[in-house]
């Protein structure tokens, strides 16, 4: 997407995959970042599982990255490492466009890692009043719930219209006895884990607990139709896949890397071409 958009705007860009699966085992993240900076890259997109670990390698954080507690876009500029989070705005825009009739209110968020942090704060800003957060690490879910509530109190009603100040985020243990009641209470369920990727097949929750009154979102975009979304649709749920978040986080990252505003429709078209290539 970045290279195609650069070419469309007269920029000669190179976007490389630094695949940690192809590196020697236990290659430290600091070595990867140091080498990328030394090699003259404009920056890095950071993905699972490094979005929180990279925080310690930045010189400065954007407000979104600081609030979320995770970085997915690292920019090298004037000898500094600037950490940004474009997942935050990317998810919100993807949800708005993918399910335009949905106003998130009672939502179960599955996953409290780097992506989960971005989604939790985005859902809060979109008006969630009951945000249930579950993770296999209950301490991570508790910490994220506390961070969202603290942000809600700090922002107040004057900063964001509607019900932000009344958001209540709470941790839900990742056990059947707790997940089932949370799904029953929720209007929407969002997967913020890597579960569903080709190398991590499966679903983040028991999909037999879903009904046609739920809307369901997933951040996984390869494949776009995850097992989770396929099962949710079979049960009558409205769904939104991870492509919107993938495109809109990239639109923002392109601007951060180049200083040039990207055409989101063109970047979307490039993304769509991947499935037919």
Catalytic residues: 50
Residues 88 and 62: their CA atoms lie apart, in Å, by 12
Residues 125 and 109: their CA atoms lie apart, in Å, by 14
Separation of first and last alpha carbons in the chain: 13
Q: In terms of residues, how long is the chain?
A: 277
The position carrying tokens 């429709």 is 265
Kind plus residue range of the DSSP H or E element containing 166: none
Q: What is the DSSP string of 114-167?
A: HHHHHHHHHHHHTT-SEEEEEESSHHHHHHHHHHHHHHHHHHHHHHSSTTGGG-
Q: Is 24 exposed, middle or buried (0-12, 13-18, 19+ CB in 10 A)?
A: exposed
78: phi > 0 → left, psi -120 to 50 → alpha, else beta; which?
left
């Amino acid at each position: 997407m970045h290279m195609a958009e650069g070419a469309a705007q007269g920029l000669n860009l190179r976007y490389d995959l630094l695949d940690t699966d192809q590196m020697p085992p236990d290659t430290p993240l600091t070595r990867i970042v140091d080498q990328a900076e030394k090699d003259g890259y404009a920056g890095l997109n950071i993905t699972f599982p490094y979005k929180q670990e990279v925080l310690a390698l930045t010189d400065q954080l954007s407000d979104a990255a600081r609030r979320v507690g995770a970085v997915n876009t690292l920019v090298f500029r004037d000898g500094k490492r600037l950490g940004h989070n474009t997942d935050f705005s990317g998810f919100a825009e993807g949800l708005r466009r993918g399910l335009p009739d949905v106003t998130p209110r009672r939502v179960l968020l599955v996953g409290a890692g780097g992506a989960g942090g971005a989604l939790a704060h985005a859902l809060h800003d979109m008006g969630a009043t009951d945000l249930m957060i579950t993770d296999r690490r209950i301490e991570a879910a508790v910490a994220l719930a506390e961070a969202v509530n603290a942000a809600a109190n700090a922002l107040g009603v004057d900063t964001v219209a509607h019900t932000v100040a009344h958001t209540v985020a709470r941790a839900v243990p990742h056990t059947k006895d707790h997940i089932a009641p949370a799904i029953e209470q929720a209007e929407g369920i969002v997967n913020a884990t890597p579960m569903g990727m080709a190398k991590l097949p499966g679903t983040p929750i028991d999909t037999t607990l879903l009904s046609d009154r739920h809307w369901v979102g997933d951040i996984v975009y390869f494949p776009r139709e995850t097992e989770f979304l396929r099962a949710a649709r079979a049960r009558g749920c409205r769904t939104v896949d991870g492509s919107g978040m993938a495109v809109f986080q990239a639109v923002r990252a392109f601007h951060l890397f180049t200083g040039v505003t990207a055409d989101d429709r063109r970047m979307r078209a490039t993304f769509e071409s991947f499935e037919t290539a």
